Amino acid sequence: MTAQHHEQVREPLVLGNPSLRDVTARIASIVESKISMKYLLTLGFTATMAGWGLFALYYTITTGIGVWGLNNPIGWGWDITNFVFWIGIGHAGTLISAILFLFRQKWRTAINRSAEAMTIFAVICALTMVLSHTGRPWLFYWLLPYPNQMQMWVNFRSPLAWDVFAVNTYFTVSALFWFVGLLPDLATLRNYVKSDLAKKIYGFFSFGWTGSTRSWHHYEIAYMILAGISTPLVLSVHSVVSFDFTVGILPGWHTTIFPPYFVAGAIFSGFAMVMTLLVICREILDLKQFITLKHLDNMNKIMLATGMMVGYAYILEFFIAWYSGSDWESWIFINRAFGDYAWAYWTMFTCNVVSPQVFWFASARRNIPLMFIISIFINIGMWFERFTIIATTLHHDFLPASWGYYSPTWVEISIFIGTFGIFLTLFLLFAKFVPVIAIAEVKSILPGAQPAHHHGHDHDHDSAHAAVPAVATEGGH
């Protein structure tokens, strides 16, 4: 690697100047390594969490949601809090894979695969929550418009129906996007791994991808289209989730700021979760070469920015509540900050608005223990944001006689722990058996991986560069 002078201006995206083979070998070594006792114990732990949650879910489904702490004014509690929380977590993946792709942010290549995986797993958790809160999840198909003997249709005038479409579309498109991204990497593993069984499995799921240029030609267009449509999609999903609240006329919910505020919060929480898991991943799987401090630095900047957006929204909500002149609106916000749930409100505010402020300092943005702790704070804060929004508005409704207070039962807490179990179990399986780094994409951004100029016959403007001798940068062979 000699001809890197033009790359020196920016920090390299991949450290150690690996060759193409090095990239393949590094990722394949994760897949091929023997399953360690440590991994099995961790998996056992998370699977136990998942199992415990599934037991609580079983208890809920067989008994009814009366086993939850919901009561009359508070019809939504941890169920919807967790749903919005998990949907939010999912947003970072699509943001990284789609929006950063469109903005040609090459640093995304190291983290997009795992972030997209988190999206899918988080949406699975969200769907678990939202289906179980219907009370009779085996009738889930009633949420869909299908011709039935009742001659009934879904009420398309309700935001809850929009939500069904938004979340399912989001899940489907994210999964497709993820799978399309995986195809070349599965093919790489198919041809690289030694075990016959692994060859068969990767061979099956790679669908016979060959790396043919004629295929890459379609593939790049497909990837661009998927990124292009995922970008408005990711913005729409949490907007539609926020409609669940804003279309209702309850003070504290009926707010025009909700869609952008929810989207910013979702990206904020999603990045925090990606950060939490990536910091662990890059240590355990030894991916420091690919997930560099530059990546973490960039993510911290995004967290700082989105954290300020939600902070702005928190403060603006109070201003608008006062400015509206509506007694109910003003009161519900005073109650939010100083009422029964003040503890939740101030936890949220401290975690989400105050804690990310340390990322103004470059040294903090590159301090791994610190960013790990802050990311956990943000996870907690963003969960409390959803809880605050739901509980403070519902617990004091228009009828003072019915005012109440909501606390979860052990069942709700168990289900929430269970969703973490499901999420972490799926992520662990993913990290072990699926290429955690987008191999083909990382290869394509290695220095010297792309031709110094295009030899296309229609590239007249390239003729000036054609005089420059081709730079041989393929190291390691």
Interface of this chain with another protein, residues 196 to 215, rule: CB under 8 A: 200, 203-204, 207-215
Cβ count within 10 A of residue 144:
11
Answer for which of 35, 139, 362, 470 binds another protein (CB under 8 A) is 470
Q: For another protein, give the closer residue by CB, 91 or 190.
A: 190
Q: For another protein, give the closer residue by CB, 10 or 459.
A: 459
Minimum distance of another protein from residue 312's CB (angstroms): 25
* Binding range to another protein, per CB under 8 A, among 38-46, 233-241, 309-317, 400-408: 233-241
12 binds another protein (CB under 8 A): no
Which residues fall within 8 angstroms of residue 178, CB to CB, at 6 or more apart?
A: 97, 113, 116, 117, 119, 120
104 binds another protein (CB under 8 A): no
183 binds another protein (CB under 8 A): yes
Q: For another protein, give the closer residue by CB, 51 or 145.
A: 145
| Residue ranges of E strands in 11-75 | none
Are 184 and 213 in contact by the 8 Å Cβ rule? The answer is no
Q: Which residue's entry shows tokens 């949490």?
A: 238
Taking the C-alpha atoms of residue 349 and residue 343, their distance in angstroms, rounded to an integer, is 10
* Binding range to another protein, per CB under 8 A, among 224-232, 318-326, 380-388, 427-435: 224-232
Taking the C-alpha atoms of residue 476 and residue 114, their distance in angstroms, rounded to an integer, is 27
Answer for which of 10, 136, 288, 459 binds another protein (CB under 8 A) is 459
Burial of 442 (C-beta count, 10 Å sphere; 0-12/13-18/19+): buried
Taking the C-alpha atoms of residue 70 and residue 282, their distance in angstroms, rounded to an integer, is 41
Q: Which of residues 20-49 bind another protein (CB under 8 A)?
A: 20-21, 24
Minimum distance of another protein from residue 257's CB (angstroms): 18
364 binds another protein (CB under 8 A): no
Q: For another protein, give the closer residue by CB, 229 or 413.
A: 229
Taking the C-alpha atoms of residue 247 and residue 182, their distance in angstroms, rounded to an integer, is 39
Q: For another protein, give the closer residue by CB, 134 or 191.
A: 191
Angle formed at CA 164 by CA 161 and CA 166, multiple of 5 degrees: 110
Q: Which of residues 148-177 bind another protein (CB under 8 A)?
A: 148-159, 161-162, 165-166, 168-169, 172-173, 176-177
449 binds another protein (CB under 8 A): yes
Minimum distance of another protein from residue 151's CB (angstroms): 4
Minimum distance of another protein from residue 281's CB (angstroms): 23
220 binds another protein (CB under 8 A): yes
Taking the C-alpha atoms of residue 437 and residue 280, their distance in angstroms, rounded to an integer, is 15
Are 414 and 55 in contact by the 8 Å Cβ rule? The answer is yes
Q: For another protein, give the closer residue by CB, 155 or 256.
A: 155
Helix axes 293-323, 258-284, angle to 10 degrees: 160
Q: For another protein, give the closer residue by CB, 48 or 191.
A: 191
DSSP 75: -
DSSP 351: I
Q: For another protein, give the closer residue by CB, 24 or 347.
A: 24
